[in-house]
Amino acid sequence: MVERTSKFLLIVAVSVCFMLILYQYVGPGLSLGSPSGRSYSEELDLFPTPDPHYVKKYYFPVRELERELAFDMKGEDVIVFLHIQKTGGTTFGRHLVQNVRLEVPCDCRPGQKKCTCYRPNRRETWLFSRFSTGWSCGLHADWTELTNCVPGVLDRRESANAKTPR
């Protein structure tokens, strides 16, 4: 008798939990009415009025966000990839050298973290990143360090490539 009662209580407890879960996840999608008396679409608007304490720190105009830049890989253009910690920069930097479809793909050798990314016509790099040039400007260089360092590093690399016979 005790076993039957405990099984019955277990079944009731499980079905009550199931109904609570069902109400929590399925109920808001149905028009069952809300406890506050407002419609579901009104509750979706989390911030109906602007927060007076929020100050816009950065303003990017739409025309700046939608501008298009022409990148000439066969010319003199160079992409400088600024690696920022904890933002997925390592994954994106690796994607730039390994997965992007190019006329001349980057040469990534197994066991090495650096890849050589040359332009289609000559032995000059078009990408300045941790995965193509290494830590040439120091570990986790910021914008100002890269701005001061990149032209000199590229000049040194190009002059070293010019000295080697082809």
Q: Is residue 83 annotated as part of the catalytic site, yes or no?
A: no
Q: Phi and psi for 5 in degrees, rounded to 5?
A: -65, -40
d(CA 127, CA 76): 11
Strand segments (E) across 28-78: none
Please tell me which residue in 53, 83, 95, 140 is annotated as part of the active site: 140
Largest CA distance in the chain: 94
Place of tokens 């298009």: 68
Name the strand (E) or helix (H) holding 13. Answer: helix 2-26
In sequence order, the β-bridge partners of residue 11 are none
For the annotated catalytic residues, the residue numbers are: 140
